[in-house]
Structure 1
Amino acid sequence: MKSITINGSKRESVGKKATKALRNAGQVPCVLYGGDQPLHFAADEIAFKDLVYTPDVHTVVIELKDGEKFDAVLQDIQFHPVTDAILHIDFYQIFEDKEISMEIPVHTTGIARGVKNGGVLRFNLRRMRVKGLPGNLPDFIEADITPLKIGNKLYVTALKSDDYKIMHPDNTVVCQVRTSRNVVALDEDEEEEGEETAADEVPATETNE
C-alpha cells in the first residue's frame, strides 16, 4: 500500500485557545493513538490534500521536527460544517506485526455481460472493510464483473484473499446488474434458466449457467 509522509510538530498545549490559534495559522490539530499514550501534534492543512481528498487509501508516515517517525492510518476526520475546512484528524499507529482494519476501495475490471445487453451495473459496496497485516493490505480490491448477467449479483465471498479477512457477512452484495428500459434480446444461453440456488446457500457470484 502506498504511503504519504506528513511533516508536523508536537503540540505543547491542547487547550481551546491553542487549538484555535493553530487553525488560524492554517494548521490542523491531530492526535495519534495506538502507542503508549496519545501523541498530540499539528501539521499544515495543505499536507493532508493527497490523503483526504482522494478515493484511494494510504498509510501515513508522521514525521515530527524532533526526528521521531510513526507509521499510522487515518482513523477519523472532522470537517467544518460550512466551509469544509479540516478541523481535526485522529490517526492510529500501526505495527508491521499487528493486524489493522481498513476500508479498501473496490475497482471493477471487464464489462458485465448484462450491461452489454442493456442492463445497468449498480454498486452496493464501493469500499470493503478488511483486516490484515499492514504489509498485506492492497491499494484496492479488484473485482471481475465480466460474467455477470442481468439479475446476477457479486458477493463479497467472490473477493476472498489469503492476505486479509473480509469483515462483511458472506451475503453482502458488492454490485449487481439490474434490468433497465434499454434491455435488448438476451443470448440463447442467457435465456436458459439454471437451477435455482438453495435459500441457505450464498454464492460468490450468482449466475444462471
Structure 2
Amino acid sequence: MKSIAISGSPRENVGKRDAKELRYQGQVPAVLYGGATQTHFSVSAADLKPVVYTPVVQFIDLDVAGVASQAIIKDMQFHPLTDEILHVDFLLLDESKPVTIEIPILLTGTSPGVKMGGKLTQKLRKLRIKALPKDHLDTIEVSIEGLEVGSSVRVRDIKLPNLTITNTPEDTILSITTSRALRQAEQEAASGKK
C-alpha cells in the first residue's frame, strides 16, 4: 500500500483556545493513539489535503519532533459549513496486529450484459478489509467480464488471500439490470411491433 510522509509539531497546550489559534495559523490539531501514550500534535492543513481529498487509502509516515511512526487516519472532524478540517485522529500501526481499513473497489473488464444494453449499478464503492498492514491492497479489483443481464456480484464472491472482508457476505457489490430502453424493446418485440 502507498504511503505519504507528513511532519507534525508537538502541542504543549490542548484545549479550544489553542486549537482555534492553530487553525488560524493553517494548522490542524491532531492526536496519535494506539501506543503506550497519546501524542498531541499539529499538522499543516496543506499537507493533509492530498491524503483526505482522495479515494485512495494511504499509510502515513508521521514525523513528530523527530519521532517517526506509521499510521492511518482513523477519524476526522470537519466544520459543518466550510468543510475545513477541524481535527484528525491517527491510529498507530503495529506490524503484528491486524487493522481494518476501507479499500476502494476497482471494476475491470467489459460486461456483455452492458454491451447488450443492460445497466451496471455499483452499490458498494469500498470494502472493509481486516489484515496485517503489510498485506493491505491499494484497490480491490472486481472483474465484470462475462456478466450478463440479471447477474450480480456479492461480497461472498470476492476471494482475497491473507485478507478478511468484514462486510456482510450477502451485500451486493454490483448488478447488471435491464435498462428501461431494453425492457421496452423486448416488450415491443414480444407484441410484434416494430
- What is residue 101 of structure 2 aligned with on the other side? 102
SS in 2 for 1:150: coil
1:67 aligns with 2:66: yes
Root mean square deviation of aligned Cα: 1.4
Q: TM-score of the superposition, structure 2-length normalised?
A: 0.92
Residue segments in structure 1 that go unaligned for 5+ positions in a row = 187-209
1:16 aligns with 2:11: no
1:92 aligns with 2:91: yes
- What is residue 148 of structure 2 aligned with on the other side? 149
- What is residue 199 of structure 1 aligned with on the other side? none
- What is residue 198 of structure 1 aligned with on the other side? none
More displaced, 135-144 or 159-168? 159-168
- What is residue 35 of structure 2 aligned with on the other side? 35
Shift of 1:41: 0.6
SS in 1 for 2:30: strand
1:73-107 deviation line (CA, Å, top 9, x unaligned): 11011111111110011110001111000000000
Separation in 1, partners of 2:122, 2:180? 19
Aligned length: 185
Q: TM-score of the superposition, structure 1-length normalised?
A: 0.85
Shift of 1:29: 0.2
The letter of the residue matching 2:30 is C
Separation in 1, partners of 2:21, 2:70? 27
SS in 2 for 1:22: helix
- What is residue 3 of structure 1 aligned with on the other side? 3
- What is residue 165 of structure 2 aligned with on the other side? 166
Separation in 2, partners of 1:29, 1:112? 47
Indicate if the aligned counterparts of 1:119 and 1:182 stay in contact, CA closer than 8 A.
no
Shift of 1:15: 1.3
1:29-52 deviation line (CA, Å, top 9, x unaligned): 001110112111101100011100
Q: Detail structure 1 runs of 4+ shifted over 3 Å in the superposition.
A: none
Residue segments in structure 2 that go unaligned for 5+ positions in a row = 187-194
1:5-58 deviation line (CA, Å, top 9, x unaligned): 111111111011111100000000001110112111101100011100101100
Separation in 1, partners of 2:49, 2:169? 35
More helix, by proportion: 2
> Identity rate of aligned residues, in percent?
42
Shift of 1:161: 1.0
